[in-house]
Chains A and B, each alone.
Chain A
Amino acid sequence: MSDSYLTERSAKDWKKSVKHGAGEWLAERGTSVALIPLVLWAVFSGIGLANQGYEASLAFVRVPLNAGLIALLFLISGWHMFMGLKVIIDDYIGKPGTRGLLNLVNLLFCLAVVVAVLGGLYFVFKA
């Protein structure tokens, strides 16, 4: 074999993560699979609600199953969005300080979206 670097350097020397990596991989795939039916449901619901007015939207969200699916959709897609944006930031931003700051902004942004949705749902039911 001419790939001497493979034998010369043992796999033990390779820089790899021993603490995490598998969890992120599974979370990315898990959220992706869960989002397939949820997004298709959202598309069909959106088509049904288009131009039907405020009362129809309110009645739709007040159905407990719908509210639950909406909460699930935004929790999972918020998580999925955070992981996707984090990968982009980690890929393109080399400076550790800037990268850390942007990832913090990313986390706060994704949390804000989820909190806003849950808050909206809360007020729909409280009213």
Chain B
Amino acid sequence: MSKPPTASAPPRALHRPLSPHLQIWRYHITMFTSILHRITGVATIAGLLLGAGWLVALGATASGICPEAYTVYLTFAASPFGLLVWVGVTLAGFLHLTGGLRHLIWDMGLGFDLKTSNLMAWSGLLTAVLATIAVWFYLFATGKVVL
């Protein structure tokens, strides 16, 4: 296994970077936005499926393969539960969008300091929530979506 420690070569284990221990880590907002980016990425798949379902239903109805396909799609997509999914997808999508922008900024080697990281985490959350509210406020206010 490992060689016994000598004066010239101290035990390697001493100098290895340690894994983060969740029990002793102080909570930080970037911890939350980090895992949130992964969660919202998965949640946004629901939006992709809603979009794909819309196009499949449109094609099936237009071609006459299954004329009632579009109505079937709407019974889900326009139902209260469907609406809940749409709202969730909007929020998850905007969170993933702002999170993705944050990561692209980091990928350019910018904004790694604590102050900028905190600012990007909070502004990303706020922007996503406000964008979601704006979209759904508009849809309800104009009567395009009714419960």
Q: In the complex the two chains form, is B9's CB within 8 Å of A121's CB?
A: no
Number of interface residues of B (CB under 8 A): 42
Number of interface residues of A (CB under 8 A): 41
Q: In the complex the two chains form, is B59's CB within 8 Å of A124's CB?
A: yes
- Residues from chain B with a CB closer than 8 A to the CB of A120 are 52, 55-60
Q: In the complex the two chains form, is B135's CB within 8 Å of A43's CB?
A: yes
- Residues from chain A with a CB closer than 8 A to the CB of B51 are 42, 73-74, 117
Q: Which residue of A lies closest to B41 (CB)?
A: A84
Summed over the interface, the residue pairs from A and B with CB atoms below 8 Å come to a total of 102
Q: In the complex the two chains form, is B59's CB within 8 Å of A29's CB?
A: no
* Chain A residues at the B interface, C-beta cutoff of 8 Å: 2-5, 8, 29, 32-33, 35-36, 39, 42-43, 47, 50-52, 54, 57-58, 61, 70, 73-74, 77-78, 81, 84-85, 88, 113, 116-117, 119-124, 126-127
The 9 closest A-B CB pairs, nearest first, are A123-B59, A120-B55, A120-B59, A127-B62, A123-B63, A50-B144, A120-B56, A127-B63, A51-B144
The digit string for B65-102, where 1 denotes a CB below 8 A from any CB of A, is 10000100000001000000000001001000100110
- Residues from chain B with a CB closer than 8 A to the CB of A32 are 100, 103-104
Q: Which of B58, B97, B104 has the most CB of A within 10 A?
A: B58
Q: In the complex the two chains form, is B59's CB within 8 Å of A77's CB?
A: no
| Separation of A72 and B145 alpha carbons in the complex (Å) | 27
